[in-house]
Structure 1
């Protein structure tokens, strides 16, 4: 049994180039995008946090620059992205502004979601935009990405972003209404798979190859995205995005494929912090901080009595008092700066360090207690 859209509080929508851009003319499908903006506005009005992962920059830019059809060299793709990103950001800003929604552009590379220091920066910026009721529009930064570090498709990028911000639902809009037991274009007996409760080798075997020159993704990358999303506690949908108001259609019962997760974003993140990261240092806390942490608070500098280790911002550290280990967390400061502010109230951080750092040494969302 698949869940209903109404129960989700933070939703990521992935929109591919083939949906956004008319392939023959190289122009945006304005009417389709305006209808999707209506869907986003409906979610936004209900208080749902919405983030969009949008392709289309290279597809738009190559038309403006007059580049020929077919595969582009890396530097041509980067140049096309530089031109197309301006146009794409403007269009998203305009269609959402019609609904009194502010859009914010975020360009990321693989390292921004894999390297912990940059991961924390990207996460903090995105969460602040959501807190301010803006809709972040995310794309891979094709102007600086190279063939060695780029994602190569925005399906996996969307899954990384969804787990990074603790989204409980990721929707991948495609040119097909979900996963089939075989390619439906070549196999009339192919069965539509409405719900995938667990991604097995048999499910992975159903996936195919890349789709078109505009879209670097295919069903294979969508299933790989589902593995990333569900491991991070995020449900995922593959749905037909070619229709107008595609999100509304899902809510009305249109065919799609749900990939379900037994976890939730908060639990999955804390499991990752608790078990998947090697601690680089230790923060010793006083009795007052111990009580505050056990009550669900963040760890402030004033509650830290001493530190050990040569950790960097974003590294995992052990949190303990003088008697036992309390848990682990991702620290917000390098060891040198942390040593200068321990035992001091957060309001003094800027005067001590010379910059306005974070109020928390370890935020409660970046902490897993329980030893």
Structure 2
């Protein structure tokens, strides 16, 4: 049966740890694996890191640059070289590819979000393997994905993939970093990411010296993908053929089970595509009404307004302790909300001097996280 498969490979798997130069044997095996999956009728998307790492290797830099402008310049050098390597290898196997460079702003506007979706749909229909990366050369800090794990989760959600493979420098998720804790416990299956968080798995925030990811970002990507019904697997990037073995049923890596009830594409866009502009702290009654009652958010339930935002922008909703519970699109700007917070809907006209919406966030524009 034909499936849609998104594969993300990190810089640590693409490059040699000592030098940051490309590991050509790994890339060749990856290309061969993905081409074979395509030949079997599957739709395949590759999310590839490595542009900055490869650029560092080309320019003789001994560590990843921290300054934004330098990093963007290095990415511009590396992206061309990386794509040339991919093109040479895929062309040898007569597999067409396309370069897709995205910034967060491509997903923030609903029209552009749908346009990205349509582009992927057409490329996959043509039998092309899109190779996706963040457009580091132009992305600004406020509108960055930050890492390609998050980007791959969003792409898998966008195209409603069947599988997301996160190829990294360890063979699976562990209860602690196995490089430093010899008795770290391997985790083969995660049925509920919330339970995983509660068990306080020590994931480590940092990736390799050449990359930006870490296990935290991979779990975040899994959260995004599984919400869209995408089965997600963390496995070792040195062995790309594991992808085929996993598809055939072998128990390799850590599997994250997809959520049985997936949210709509529009609500996933609100939850993960948008960049929140502010935060609303809710009282216990509002948290309960939203979390268990499926209700809209009313002004009476808002305890505090944080940040500056306009009408129809995305905001975070949290309890009084700052724990995020939902995201949504507001019907009022931050100045208006500071005036009406804590008041009943019937008082809004008198406070603002005009008729406003009854709800601050309608339940159709509200997504539980």
Into which bin does the TM-score normalised by the smaller protein fall? 0.5 to 0.7
Q: Which residue of 2 aligns with 1:218?
A: 214
Bigger drift between 240-249 and 51-60 goes to: 240-249
Q: 1:79 to 1:262 in 2, by over 3 A?
A: same
Equivalent position to 1:245, from 241, 245, 263: 241
CA–CA distance in structure 2, aligned partners of residues 231 and 275 of structure 1: 13
Q: Which residue of 1 aligns with 2:364?
A: none
Q: Which residue of 2 aligns with 1:258?
A: 255
CA–CA distance in structure 2, aligned partners of residues 255 and 89 of structure 1: 29
1:141-220 equivalence runs, <5 A: 141-203=135-197, 205-206=200-201, 207-220=203-216
Q: Are 1:101 and 2:98 an aligned pair?
A: no
Q: Secondary structure at the match of 1:148?
A: helix
Equivalent position to 1:230, from 218, 222, 226: 226
Q: 1:182 to 1:62 in 2, by over 3 A?
A: closer
Whether the 8 Å CA contact 2:22–2:54 is kept in 1: the answer is yes
Whether the 8 Å CA contact 2:64–2:210 is kept in 1: the answer is no
Q: 1:199 to 1:84 in 2, by over 3 A?
A: same
Q: Secondary structure at the match of 2:267?
A: helix
| Number of residue-to-residue matches in the alignment | 269
CA–CA distance in structure 2, aligned partners of residues 174 and 141 of structure 1: 21
Q: Are 1:131 and 2:125 an aligned pair?
A: yes
Q: 1:275 to 1:21 in 2, by over 3 A?
A: closer
Deviations 1:319-352 (A, max 9, x none): xxxxxxxxxxxxxxxxxxxxxxxxxxxxxxxxxx
Structure 2 segments unaligned to the other structure (5+ residues): 272-369
Q: Secondary structure at the match of 1:138?
A: strand
Whether the 8 Å CA contact 2:51–2:79 is kept in 1: the answer is yes
Q: Secondary structure at the match of 1:210?
A: coil
Give 1:70 deviation, angstroms. Answer: 4.4
1:314-353 equivalence runs, <5 A: none
Q: Are 1:269 and 2:264 an aligned pair?
A: yes
Whether the 8 Å CA contact 2:175–2:185 is kept in 1: the answer is yes
Q: Which residue of 2 aligns with 1:119?
A: 113
TM-score where L is the length of structure 1: 0.67
Give 1:24 deviation, angstroms. Answer: 2.8
Whether the 8 Å CA contact 2:14–2:27 is kept in 1: the answer is yes
Deviations 1:192-241 (A, max 9, x none): 11111111254363122112221111111111111101111111000011
TM-score where L is the length of structure 2: 0.68
CA–CA distance in structure 2, aligned partners of residues 112 and 141 of structure 1: 10
CA–CA distance in structure 2, aligned partners of residues 32 and 143 of structure 1: 26
Q: Secondary structure at the match of 1:59?
A: helix
